[in-house]
Amino acid sequence: MDISDRDVHQLNARTQLTFPQDFESKNGSHSHLEIRAGVDAQYDLDSDKVSGVVGGTPIKFSVGLDDKVSGFVGATLTRTNRKGDLAFAISGELQSAFDGGYQAVGEARIIKRF
């Protein structure tokens, strides 16, 4: 099977509320905590038409994508030294689709400014 064409038209949207907090230590370093929650949505805009050839015969069919809406919560904590040139950050997000299913994402970063 040779696929010659595929059309995907999808709208992705995210709405979130963020609650930031800053904390300063006695030694001059500071921390930034950001808590967020919101909704992600993906909408199919009449897409996913596939054109191809199977055994020399041209074919066309529609696959169709599912519309998805999910809620999420997440947080990021960043700790910066007193000079402001070095920071450590950890971040995580948990997403739950309203029709079932979960996804978790985590990240750790070191940031060095020169």
Mean per-residue pLDDT, 52-57: 77
Q: With b meaning 16 or more CB within 10 Å and e meaning fewer, what string describes 15-30?
A: eeeeeeeeeeeeeebb
pTM value is: 0.69
pLDDT number for residue 77: 98
CB atoms within 10 A of CB 82: 12
pLDDT of residue 1: 60
